[in-house]
Amino acid sequence: MSRGWARAALVGYRWFGAGIYPLLGPYLAIRAAKGKEERSRRQERYGRSDIERPVGPLVWFHAASVGETNAVVPLINEVRRRGISVVLTTGTVTSARVAQERLGDNVIHQYVPLDLKPAISRFLDHWMPDLAIIAESEIWPMTILELGARRTPQVLVNGRLSDRSFARWSKRPGLADALFENLSHVIAQSDLDAERFLSLGARPVTVSGNLKVDTTAPPWDGDELARLQEQVGDRPTWAAISTYEGEDEIAAAVHRALKPRHKLLTILVPRHPDRADTIEAMLTGNGLKVARRSRGEPVIPETDVYLGDTIGEMGLYLNLTEIVFVGKSLKGGGGQNPLEPAMLGCAVLSGSNVENFREAYARLLKNGGARFVRDGEMLAKGVHYLLSNPQARRTMADGGEKTLYDMRGALKSTVRALEPYINPLTVKARLLPRENENGENRKGGQW
């Protein structure tokens, strides 16, 4: 696609978006009915907000979902430490709850506006960000073009391009160039990601490593953990986390295969808790007794599966076991973050379809912190081996700890790359009048 055709396509995208904009009410209403939107906050998807913009410099962070949100939390805290206000947008109800739990009133949270000119323009007119920081792989054409038209610096942090995304952009080099030229800086996760962004026209590109390594371990409630550990007792456990459709059935089959030898408890944490009713029906249909976390059901000796159908409690579930299968790797594809279980001393098992976390898995495999399985039968054998060999579990946990140690430093590298954009805002923030103890200089009651 030539550059001229690329620009024509982007103009067409803009007019198409403007045309369908009035028709989006039913679409958002359906999503709200499915629990994918907060009814009371749907106006934010149109770029509207009841919160006033704070006085002084403001950085807009965007993180699509839970993983991206957790990854940028330390970076947001660094920006806030400098006195710069932050508005954080996310795209899912789950990530909004995580943002509230991890950041509270330290930021203003909004749902990301639809990538349509009326919504994006309204959002930018209201918040007037001095800098936009986008996490990982969120390439939204209208957002990028509108920020570029306003000459607002926009930086992609923890940047990555999956095999599929890179192949798609490579077929449209003119379109990629027309978009990526608007990015002020790309801070990539790995050398491979950096090479891909460079080949698509992004300049400059630097490598920081993966911000997910420099986050803290998922939090948990100590009292709840102690209560559940007492209920579990000395039963062996394993967990299947971030599972997608098809992997829940695999976890059930593993449990049935191993139960006669180990009398184990399986902890099943689906990636989308709204599938819990369907998963429970499948498990009970296979003759398994289920206790659901969302209903406060206790783990009793007869419980086969503890269904972790809640949000923000991954730390609790991971602390109940030392063996973890990380999902979206046998079914779905792309993988999920293996670093969280490694942070909490778990041996990691996974399918091989993990392109979204390629480097993390490569390092875990090299250090013996993770193992790949081909299918459910191999997963059952792997869980059986680790249940039967405490030393093997400890060796894998040590490999995970070494991997985390070797990979740390992404936050420091990212902050260093961002300093040309953040330092001027830090100076502006310091020149603002200091608020008194009653917070009288605040706008909208929060920063």
Return the exposure string of 255-271: e unless at least 16 CB atoms fall within 10 Å of the residue's CB, then b: bebbeeebebbbbbbbb
Tokens of 68: 């991206």
Is 195 annotated as catalytic? no
Whole-Å CA distances, 404 to 215, 341, 359, 396, 417: 11, 11, 12, 13, 22
Pick the catalytic residue from 44, 68, 136, 138: 68
Tokens matching residue 390: 């405490």
CA distance 166 to 11: 23
Q: What is the CA radius of gyration of the chain?
A: 23
Which residues fall within 8 angstroms of residue 396, CB to CB, at 6 or more apart? 347, 348, 368, 369, 370, 371, 386
Task: For residue 268, give the nearest of 234, 245, 235, 287 by alpha carbon.
Answer: 245
Between CA 164 and CA 289 the distance in angstroms is 40
Q: Which of 355, 361, 320 is nearest to 338 (CA)?
A: 361
For residue 323, give Cα distances in angstroms to 248, 429, 445: 16, 47, 45
Catalytic residue positions, numbered: 68
